Structure 1
């Protein structure tokens, strides 16, 4: 049964429903909370049932294993949803330290439908699942996550490319594009919303805390960018005043040109006008 739009549903003429592929990992059992609290950068203890938050899963040395969302489905039932193709990596990392712990960690086949330009209050959760708000600069959406999710009635269906353009414009990083196993969390631009500095210890915490305490920041950072010409390919070198400044990590064509995410060097001040390959581009900052 599709999630029904409720009376007074806050949707707009631009609202789109997009099917997205995410890998989902279930962590279930009496020790699930305690275990995740020691493995994730987010403060899992403060999550209420039905709540969610972005989080890092880090390597022992502090680099990124995965950036994902943690949601609390029930008292001892948590879900981790991550970019498609990274679920097995999350399972492998979590089970590596799963010793004398009464909880299970396994991938599950769940659906995800994102309703762009709509607020969570306008939709009911899918049966057995969750309705999760998505709020970023210039983007308000709702993720309908569940064992089986149909497209909501009365909404136009968008494409994965529609989501990709909005993701990039909002500055949302993605595993495999803006970060991988060599990435320092501080270089992603999402530590403030993905890590707690008041909870107890967790694996990889030392590097996060050390970088956060340094005014200079990390050697690189992710910034939003846009241009009105042809979209540069991912990987294109970005220059400012002919000096190397970084490279394009994600790009999407939009009606008036393109939007992009760019990894820039620490010394690059933004906003700034730059070149991405042969295309002029405006570096917009975080």
Structure 2
């Protein structure tokens, strides 16, 4: 798995799985993801025909969620795409999908003036979230983007605002020591699973190797997160994605769920209705929380409210629903289609 070059002493700093009670700002090491650089005069045109988000409307200094699908509309990867300049982009996805996704994209990239390169080792990436976000960035001499999905750049750093209280910090490893020292002295350093927990609570699902080509984008609520454009032209899988939006009725979508215990089920673990023995969904991602385990799960909508759902098998832990910050908007959109 490609990883950012991080000294063992730094990696050892980010081992706590959960913040202690009362922590207001956390810093997480994002060592589970990889970075692809895409450059060249045809890069925007190439990406526009490959991904669900609208690359043509993405300005330099902006970022968006998105997905790459197979021709059947099934997601091969989910990602955050950042546009640095007219012909320069950075795409972040799960590290274990990197080689497979580069291979898929290169099948089409040969027809364009664009280059794809694994630049994971060129960046040390951190996630920060909490009430002191802006203050910590300022005190660390890091730029602070003004709005969600905007990007602030300096010669040796990028900061991507992904929510009012959360951002990604990208640093050049060979010049990052003093910045990291200050960041870790003013925040609580946590392992990447704490960032996964934040994503779960924000309702941002991700594709893992275990769920490669399992979900269409709407199953992961990607249209609600700005990661799918229904106005752009054709892209791989577009026909299926658009048909589901305008002509079909989505029978499964992603929910936040709560589980007892302290073992997070891996992505792709089935969700079963204990009363009938029927499989009604699968886990997208899961992480330990302060009171058990939280997850995102794609469930059949007519089964989501059942009190007999279990994870893995009939003897697995019971699953109950939590809430997502955009539930009301999703439900309103679904009601409009009925």
TM-score past 0.5 threshold: yes
Q: Name structure 1 gaps, 5 residues minimum.
A: 1-11
Counterpart Cα distance in 1 of 2:211 and 2:81: 18
Give runs of aligned pairs for residues 176-195 of structure 1, distance below 5 A. Answer: 176=208, 179-192=211-224, 193-195=226-228
| C-alpha deviation, 1:285, in angstroms | 5.6
Contact 2:43 2:88 in 1 (8 A): yes
Counterpart Cα distance in 1 of 2:169 and 2:264: 33
RMSD: 2.7
What does the per-residue CA deviation read over 1:100-157, in whole Å, with 9 as the maximum and x for residues that have no partner?
A: 422211111222100122546844246444211123xxx8310012443553532221
What does the per-residue CA deviation read over 1:240-272, in whole Å, with 9 as the maximum and x for residues that have no partner?
A: 7556333444332222222122231242244x5
Contact 1:230 1:279 in 2 (8 A): no
Contact 2:66 2:222 in 1 (8 A): no
TM-score with structure 1 length normalisation? 0.82
Match of 1:145 in 2: 170
Counterpart Cα distance in 2 of 1:186 and 1:24: 24
What does the per-residue CA deviation read over 1:19-67, in whole Å, with 9 as the maximum and x for residues that have no partner?
A: 1122111111111112112222111122222210001112233221211
Among 87, 97, 108, the residue aligned to 1:76: 87
Match of 1:225 in 2: 257
Counterpart Cα distance in 1 of 2:244 and 2:160: 30
CA gap 1:47/1:35 in 2 versus in 1, 3 angstroms? same
Among 105, 115, 129, the residue aligned to 2:128: 115
Among 17, 27, 34, the residue aligned to 1:17: 27
SS at match of 2:307: strand
Contact 1:50 1:130 in 2 (8 A): no
Match of 1:162 in 2: 194
Counterpart Cα distance in 1 of 2:323 and 2:250: 15
More helix by share: 2
More strand by share: 1
CA gap 1:83/1:144 in 2 versus in 1, 3 angstroms? same
Match of 1:39 in 2: 50
Match of 2:162 in 1: 134
Counterpart Cα distance in 2 of 1:47 and 1:39: 15
Is 1:26 the counterpart of 2:51 in the alignment?
no
Is 1:267 the counterpart of 2:302 in the alignment?
yes
Runs ≥4 residues deviating over 6 A: none
Deviates more, 1:198-207 or 1:111-120: 111-120
Q: Name structure 2 gaps, 5 residues minimum.
A: 1-21, 144-152, 325-338
| C-alpha deviation, 1:163, in angstroms | 1.6
Give runs of aligned pairs for residues 32-111 of structure 1, distance below 5 A. Answer: 32-108=43-119, 109=121, 110-111=123-124
Is 1:198 the counterpart of 2:223 in the alignment?
no
CA gap 1:214/1:266 in 2 versus in 1, 3 angstroms? farther
| C-alpha deviation, 1:222, in angstroms | 1.9
Among 218, 223, 239, the residue aligned to 2:273: 239
Counterpart Cα distance in 1 of 2:43 and 2:284: 35
Match of 1:281 in 2: 319
SS at match of 1:166: helix
Deviates more, 1:202-211 or 1:146-155: 146-155
Counterpart Cα distance in 2 of 1:232 and 1:97: 37
What does the per-residue CA deviation read over 1:70-98, in whole Å, with 9 as the maximum and x for residues that have no partner?
A: 10112211111111111222211221012
